[in-house]
Amino acid sequence: MMTAEEYIESLRRLKTVIYAFGERLDDFVDHPVIRPHINAAALTYAMAGEPQSEELLTAFSHLTGIRINRFTHIHHSTEDLVKKVRMLRAVGQRTGSCFQRCVGHDGINALYSVTYEIDQKYGTTYFRRLRDYVLHLQETDNMVAGSMTDPKGDRSLSPGRQADPDLYVRVVERNGDGIVIRGAKAHQTGIVNSHEMLVMPTAALAEEDRDYAVACAVPVDAPGVIHIFGRQTNDDRKFGRLDQGNACYGTVGGEALTVLDNVFVPWERVFMCGEYDFAGMLVERFACFHRQNYGGCKGGVGDVMVGAAAAAAGMNGVAGASHIKDKIVEMIHLTETVYSCSIACSALGRPTPSGAYLVDPLLANVTKLNVTRHIYEIARLAQDIGGGILATMPSEKDLRHPEVGPLVQKYLKGAASVPVEDRYRIIRLLENMTGGTALVESMHGAGSPQAQKVMILRQGNLAGKVALAKKLSGVERCEDKACLARFPSCPHFRHTALQEKE
């Protein structure tokens, strides 16, 4: 396994093409806008080597029996699924931000089971290729970005009917050596500081969209790959320190728009090519894994928000107020609620035909839908406790200014025992974690709320629930003779007797 230092140095050896703020970044590793995201990902390597977190951050490969980083592991039990969630919460507590390796981890797990089933139907060799690729990731400990979301263009049109066919990634050439793909992937978390990207389709597809049914692995610095880094709320502050709020680990995951301009992929790194009837299965399994995550990582982030809000209350001298305590309790309750959902969908996981485990799809989608609501409420309560100063505090430069600095020090004093700079740091952390970019990611990461509602309706067995109600109410005839003998006075059995008389 790589250390954090080895991971950072490995990025320097890449020739990744990255543009940000209108210019190409030659030294992206030390760029102040990108380095916090690198630090967050580096912690997943560092914690794997720490005795207190080794159990959660590592696993034993089912392919080799060797200890590996859990972010390269294929789940083979409910214990694996639960440990993944516990790991995400532990890392989230340390970063207070996104650490980016989850998407690629979910991608290899989804493809592991889907390629097996494609091979069973069509006699292809995708599963062997995918297994070899997983072995490669385990041996190198490379970070892989999960690349599913396409720009999509006109959402009312299928991929093949777009005015511009490149708005979804597609295969434009096949030959004896491999394929050539063209298009783009949007909102790519952690991709600029990854080693590889795992391209997957973003939606269920029809036969006319066969060329869009492609899954493959591509180095992030392959010829034709261009990354355009996205802006984040208050990202200009990353050129300073105190005003960032979370200077070490940043905000969310450092997303980018990644363009694939006629990129060649050798066949050994192609895991789906034209099998459009399996695209929907891949999307759903990936989504379930990724939605499972959110109670874990957001549980950890929620822990930090609770702590920051409580610290701010103490610095403001109101920690003992009953309404403050009540709000803190509610924040803890909501944090544990989303975490509980992640644990539940993991504990009820089940094996797929490949032998790898999948989470419970219904509860995974409930997890993410809860996050789209509860994290906002946790943030609202944190802002309530923190006060209006979250939106109006002067800059670090004013705090350090020789003339107005003493005035800032004087009038931003809270409790007498608390240094003003400490209060500054906590307030900026709260602003960072409850501001725009972080909450948008909680809403739309792993799919928008409507995507979860669609899956919940599909997985919720509504017809079965209706049948339960009809049976208990007597609307439907009960055929259970033993039950009738035990409970002859039940309304639905009287209804049965009346039907027999009629």
In the residue annotation, 478 being an active-site residue is answered as no
Q: Residues 198, 179: contact at Cβ < 8 Å?
A: no
Q: What are phi and psi of 351, to 5 degrees?
A: -75, 145
Q: Which of 75, 227, 290, 374 is catalytic?
A: 290
Q: Which of 216, 276, 441, 492 is catalytic?
A: 441
Q: What's the start-to-end Cα distance of the chain, in Å?
A: 75
What's residue 445's pLDDT?
A: 87
Nearest to 195 by CA among 229, 225, 226, 219: 219
Q: What is the pLDDT of residues 366-420, one digit of tens each?
A: 999 999 999 999 999 999 999 999 999 999 999 999 999 999 999 999 999 999 9
Is-above-0.85 flag for pTM? yes
Q: Which of 126, 133, 294, 357 is catalytic?
A: 294
Q: Residues 158, 204: contact at Cβ < 8 Å?
A: no
Q: What is the pLDDT of residues 456-471, one digit of tens each?
A: 999 999 999 998 888 8
CA 67-69-71 angle, 5° bins: 140
How far is Cα 320 from Cα 309, in angstroms, rounded to an integer?
A: 13
pLDDT band of residue 237 (cuts 50, 70, 90) is confident
In the residue annotation, 112 being an active-site residue is answered as no
Question: Residues of the chain with pLDDT > 70: what percent?
Answer: 97
Sorted by sequence, the CB contacts under 8 Å of residue 411 that are 6+ apart come out as none
Q: What is the pLDDT of residues 125-148, one digit of tens each?
A: 999 999 999 999 999 999 999 999
Counting every residue written for the chain, the total comes to: 502
Q: What is the pLDDT of residues 18-57, one digit of tens each?
A: 999 999 999 999 999 999 999 999 999 999 999 999 999 9
Average pLDDT over residues 472-501: 67
Burial label, 282 (beta-carbon count in 10 A; 0-12, 13-18, 19+): buried
Q: What is the pLDDT of residues 198-214, one digit of tens each?
A: 999 999 999 999 999 99
In the residue annotation, 290 being an active-site residue is answered as yes
Q: Which of 196, 255, 275, 396 is catalytic?
A: 255
Q: Which of 44, 115, 189, 352 is catalytic?
A: 189
In the residue annotation, 98 being an active-site residue is answered as yes
Q: Which of 288, 297, 341, 345 is catalytic?
A: 297
With a cut of 80, say whether residue 100 has pLDDT above it. Answer: yes
In the residue annotation, 294 being an active-site residue is answered as yes
User: What structural domains and CATH numbers belong to the chain?
Assistant: 283-459 (1.20.140.10), 469-501 (no CATH)
Q: Which of 16, 37, 98, 345 is catalytic?
A: 98
In the residue annotation, 102 being an active-site residue is answered as yes
